[in-house]
Structure 1
């Protein structure tokens, strides 16, 4: 990107780098069965995917549950998830090729996820893609997870790129809202929800096959304004289980 200030590409992990939502839902469903809950995990994640697991569980329970117990349940869900996903780990089609091309084109690249450091290693080190990220921000690096802006605001700050020059790749509605709250534009991946569920992405795609850095630049020119987060969508999608 000669003679121009760089742009940054910021990636969510689950559902963006990997297509794992069904396995996440299965792990939650097994946990719910163990706890005697009847919540449908797949439909739940359509609304809440992207939030830290403790926050999702806090919303599921009809009564207050101590934070320590929520953390225990989240750890149990994480163990279940890793067990059933262990032999299934693979990147979304075309990802490494796109990351390599984006770096060559001069983009800064960040990872901003609601997962913790141990889960990060379970995925990106197994896939051998950590080398492509200039910055990795996890739930341990922010005060508030998605749909709050913190994850993406901190990632942009660490990259040294202003929000208006950042593009977020998201599969989740809460993540899309976090991007808009951070003053960024968004490209959606339809791994977790149907394309028409997103609010205002520049593009929704199923994977990175044939996607190029030049296409990102074309989209930025086509969509010069950052959408405002939808208060109505936030209230409908996140607050009711």
Structure 2
């Protein structure tokens, strides 16, 4: 395991903290049905997971889209997602217990997500979630989505931790690549992708969920910086 001192954990949200990605896919299916659009949803997901709402809409339509139109279409799709996922809300197995262990070890916690303010509030205000990140960076704050590193770099800036001392937890190839570009190490959470799809020289571990990760004594194996 890397001996670079670790000061912070930055979690992606969808598919990493909460088991939401199948419901995002279903939301795209329903969005397309309501609008009588022919959409290859698996292909769209592969091209957009980790990108912000405006980028997703522009990929969907294959053209430049005025911001007001992109915002309206994003709201429509995300409203559908929350309607579908809300009654079935679930964390990625073991997340809350792991997050508590992270905090107990004195590590700072941040969230870096392409999700918008409504989806972040939906996730973090849910009764099942009790994580209290020091900073949350969202995809609707004017930053480019992943694989650009801006979201993760801004999260590190807000918690005052150098990028090399952060470990990113991610479930998507664009997010793993964003961590690499940010100069951060990563853990691949294979809730929707295979370890091979999330591989990289900066990836410290690839696990199905946090229960599996905790069984490896991951936190005990990393070098936690003391201040």
Normalised to the residue count of structure 2, the TM-score between the two structures is 0.87
List alignment gaps of at least 5 residues for structure 1.
Answer: 222-241
Map 1:173-188 → 2, pairs under 5 A: 173-188=173-188
Residue 48 of structure 1 and its aligned partner are, at CA, apart by 2.0
Structure 1 residues 161-172: aligned runs within 5 Å: 161-172=161-172
Contact kept? 1:100, 1:132, Cα under 8 Å: no
Q: Specify every segment of 5 or more residues in structure 2 that has no aligned partner in the other structure, as ranges.
A: none
Give the Cα–Cα distance (whole angstroms) in 2 for the partners of residues 208 and 81 of structure 1.
24
Which stretch shows the higher mean deviation, 21-30 or 208-217? Answer: 208-217
Structure 2 CA distance for aligned equivalents of residues 127 and 91 of structure 1: 11
Give the aligned length. 218
Residue 218 (str. 1) matches residue 221 (str. 2) = yes
RMSD: 2.3
Superposed CA deviations along residues 155-206 of structure 1, whole A, max 9, x for unmatched, are 0011111111100000111111111111101111111222211231221111
Q: Distance in 1 between matches of 2:184 and 2:99?
A: 19
Question: Which deviates further from its counterpart, 79-88 or 26-35?
Answer: 26-35
Contact 2:171–2:193 (Cα < 8 Å) also in 1: yes
- State the match for 2:85 in structure 1: 85
Q: Quick one: structure 1 residues 178 and 220, their matched pair in 2 at CA, closer, same or farther if it must change by over 3 Å?
A: farther
Matches within 5 A, 1:135-154: 135-154=135-154
List per-residue Cα deviations over 1:25-78 (Å, max 9, x = no partner). Answer: 111111122333322213321332111122112012234333222221111101
* Aligned counterpart, 1:203: 205
Q: 1:211 to 1:20 in 2, by over 3 A?
A: same
Q: Are residue 193 (structure 1) and residue 196 (structure 2) matched?
A: no
Instruction: Decide whether the 8 Å contact of 2:114 with 2:145 is kept in 1.
Output: yes
TM-score, reference length from structure 1: 0.82
Shift of 1:90: 1.7
Contact 1:6 1:161 in 2 (8 A): no
* Mapped partners of 1:111, 1:32: distance in 2: 30
